[in-house]
Structure 1
Amino acid sequence: MGPKSLAFRLFVSAAAWVLVVIPIAAILLTSLYRQSIERNFDARLNVYMTSLIAASTAAGGDTPESPDSLGAPIFDIPFSGWYWQIKALDGGEERPLFVSGSLLDQQLDLPSKDDVPADETLTRRSYVTGPDDENLRIEEREIRPGHEGDTVYSYAVGGNAAEIDDDLAQFTTMLVLALVILGVGLTVATFFQVRFGLLPLRAIRHDLAAIRSGDAEKLEGELPDEIKPLQTELNALIQSNRDVVERARTHVGNLAHALKTPLSVISNEARSHDGPLSGKVIEQAELMRTQITHHLDRARVAARSGVIGGVTEVEPTLMALKRALDRIYGEKGISLTVSIDPGLKFQGEKQDFEEMAGNLIDNACKWAKTSVTVTARRLGDDTLSVMVDDDGPGLTRAEREKAVKRGQRLDESKPGSGLGLSIVADLAHLYKGHFVLEDARDGGLSARLTLPAA
């Protein structure tokens, strides 16, 4: 799965989205949780504030009295982190009245009204530094116990904000762990989701390979609505390819008939007359016939090589050629031996394989003294070789190069047009294969054909 892969792009984009959303979610959840625990903490402070006001004004006078207890011993432990104090506000001057036992002789340093304005309940809440340098959450409220114009008193209750921080830290740790697990889970799920979502494309690839190998004729099966049009268009393209090839075959056959018939008439007319001119006409007509045969064969082969899905069983094809050539060359004492790997298949048209193998075996039988050996082997997952060895006189390097050229005949006494080996070379090239002539191991000539395997 490389950078150009569709699966890679989908996976990376989804993973990137997860990496962006999860940190934002972590920040948002942490902020919401902090607000929640601050509200709970403030509720505790408010309870203590209510108790403090009630205890200091229980006598009903205009001046607060020192409360005996708020029902919480923590306010009596020195520098416990929980404090309260009461101040009198006389014309802008602050006069301390009472403080909790936990403050000893210290006072809470409260922010000014300008820095922290009161809310709708006339309560101010803020964070300040305590007498032991701890961070305190403070709730302050101003009340007037007596009548209008009497002294205003400031009541303040504070608690150690480390409780908030500790609670938030524990929550953050658990949240980060949970979100990491969630992120990893989402990333893994995204990976499998992308793989699952692209399965129909893999199915199309598999079906196209089956068509290419000849195991199927068209794309079949139920596909998602988004990919269904692709299946339809590919099937139309495959059928169009077959139609084009069929028309090409028909045109090649018609052209062969249209050209060969006038040439036959010319040759027959020339043979009915004596003289050097008629001989020249016959010679040139035969040359034209050879050229036409060669180029029409190449055109026919080129048309067939574009067919999608052609597959040929090697063993039955070679055995059929062996039976046919045994009848021709058996009486001449030529022993034809065939060895084939089981299940071997050629990725191409049967007629082309018959023409290549038939030309090689026929040529070997013409030149062999006593035996011809045909060996067909699989070279790899997608390659096969056909080797035809004879015990004839063999060829020199120059003769081997000449033998594969169009229309070249090394011995005019042997029948044929001289096109056989050149057609084999052309066919092998069109199928992206190779054809070479070498010296056989036991003398004679070895023709080796390498072709695509199915």
Structure 2
Amino acid sequence: MIANSLRLRLLAGAAVAIALALAIAWGAMSWVFDRHIEHRVQEELTAQAVPLLAGLSLTGGVPALEEEPADPRFGVPASGLYWQVNAARGQLRSRSLWDSRLPVPAKAAADAWGERKAAGPFGQRLLFVERQVRLDPGQPAVTVQLAYDLARLAPAQREFGREMALFLALLWLVLAIAAWVQVSLGLRPLANVEGEVRRLRRDASARLAGAYPRELLPLTQAIDALADAREADVARARRRAADLAHGMKTPLAALAVQSARAREAGAVEAADGLDTAIAAVRGAVDGELARTRIGLAQHDGRTTAALPLAERLVQVLEATEAGERVAFSVEGAASAMLPLAGDDAAELLGPLLENAARHASRRVAVTIDEDAGGVTLAVSDDGPGLDAARHGDAVLRGERLDSGGDGHGLGLAIARELAEASGASLELATGALGGLEVRVNWPPQLS
């Protein structure tokens, strides 16, 4: 259901993104809180060190303490608060350590209190505050350590995490509602586009002339461009149909006159054959006029497998007079799809194959390439080809090179118009076989 609804996609994406951001925020704030309370513990331990140092003395390298710190936790075994003084000839430690000792650092700072975390006695993980202190100028330095059990901070950390999670959950709900309002307001202009498109379907000359947000301008401009292209296609179809009707009118009229003369001369059977042929041609012309193939050949989402189509058309051509003397080869990706319906694709590829077979000496090659750049269909032969200067004329309307007989011009003109109507480009070049190569390329958005 989400895949078919832009609103639900946006809302689901917003909900997931907000939840992810709040989860990251929860983790970051928990880390900051942990760092904050550890810093407070460090400050407390540093403050506890002041009375400890005030009563500390060193006699003959042996440390002595006049009065222990007043905090009662120093006198309770495994209380989680400890102190220890390490000298060259002795060691003092709080009663809370009982018969255990704090791990002595390899080297402690002498200019400031340093902090570290390490395992301590009683299976506890401790936060240490350590420093080397020289009690008298002529005496060696002693290492003073104070430590606190980090597990004592866990209840405060858990409580903070629960309260923060509850707050962020409520915040997620508020932000999700805000996202729903934002999505609803953001999608509202699309309803106007829908109405304009319905009007465009009723009136082909209408355009999306309303004032739309800047983000929708590419869409509305694309729809207007599509409408312009549709009008151009219809005009092209009408022009082609008119050309076909006009071109066939005079030959059919002449044949009708010849049929009448033959009938008057008594050749009734021949006249009947001519009348049958004339009727068939007129039927074909009427069908072409009704279909207006090019006007309907624009990309509408339908596709045709290129390789089977090419193989099928080659089989048909091999049975013709021109195809019997030619060796065809078809190569390409089996997954390549042409952005045309089956009849339209055959209407495009058929004239290219016919022209190639007509002009080839012995070989015609069909190549179908599919990559990130789209789909490219190439038809080449080993015939005489065309001079590069005449490539442009070969596909121009009204400049067909074979208007008086066989040749590349008519088929290429048909193929070019069909290619342009489906959003492709048609190019002529000298192929690897030495003759003419016709390449039709569909860009990625159409292939």
TM-score, length of structure 1 as denominator length: 0.47
Q: Which has the larger radius of gyration?
A: 1
